[in-house]
Amino acid sequence: MNDLTEIIADGYKPFKALLFYRGKKEEYYIESYDIGLSGRAINAHPLSVDESQQLADALDNSEELKATYLRGNGMFPQNLLYLNSEKDGFAVWHTPSKQVNLFFKADLGIADGMAQIPPMLWKAGKHSLQVFAMKTDDRPIESEQLFHAPFFNVYESGAVCMGNVKKQIPNGCSLIEFMSLWEKFYFNSTFSHTLNSGAVDGEKTVALWKRQMENQTAFPLAKLVKSKISLKTLLK
């Protein structure tokens, strides 16, 4: 114990303290304190989402997690393009054009339902997602031209605003489960607002999806707009 105390005293400095409260109905409240230069607890405030995530990431470093996170529990899926299975790693994969169930915010005036979507390219880490569109179902190569995802809630960078979607990637999540969960999170979310007005060529995103939902036709690939981001860049 003395050796451990010496190591902590020599290499670690206190910077935050947490105080846990438990209510009568087993509800919990956590108060966070910063540690001032004098070593006293200051600046009491409710534990923020960012602080919670930092704490989770700090605790999420066991050897068991390193051995299981994004590991294959069988053969790797054929649509996988790239895998970084480190603690903060990510996966890149593609999906063909297909029919999916889409949900839209009521004030957009677009009916929910099944619709045809273009081939897509996905890059996801534990806490973030980027999506792009492609013009072919074929397995992409490193020099493949990517296009803006013609959906709502997607920035020009491909980053997705998930809104209030409760996305929870389990510790030790296998690769196939990881990919499946992100696709479910994305398509089970409600499309609500346009973040990239140039995602569709010559037409507003709302008009495009109104027509798609009404006509149930194949997605018009000619409407896709080239992205400045390359597949090669996403692999870094």
Instruction: Give the model's pLDDT for residue 213.
Output: 95
Could you tell me the two tokens for 56?
A: 């989770």
Q: What is the pLDDT of residue 72?
A: 63
Q: What is the pLDDT of residue 154?
A: 96
How confident is the model at residue 18, as a pLDDT? 83
Q: What integer pLDDT is reported at residue 90 of this predicted model?
A: 92
170 to each of 1, 144, 150, 182, 217, how far by Cα in Å? 34, 32, 29, 12, 37
C-alpha pair distances (Å), 90 with each of 6, 86, 93, 130, 162: 37, 8, 10, 11, 18
Taking the chain (236 residues) in consecutive chunks of 10 residues, what is each chunk's mean pLDDT? 49 76 76 80 80 67 55 78 85 96 95 96 93 96 93 95 76 86 93 92 94 94 95 88
Domain borders along the chain are 2-59, 68-234
pLDDT of residue 44: 84
CA gap 85, 77 in Å, rounded: 15
Query: Rounded to the nearest 10 degrees, how much is the dihedral formed by the CA atoms of 38, 59, 169, 90?
Result: 90
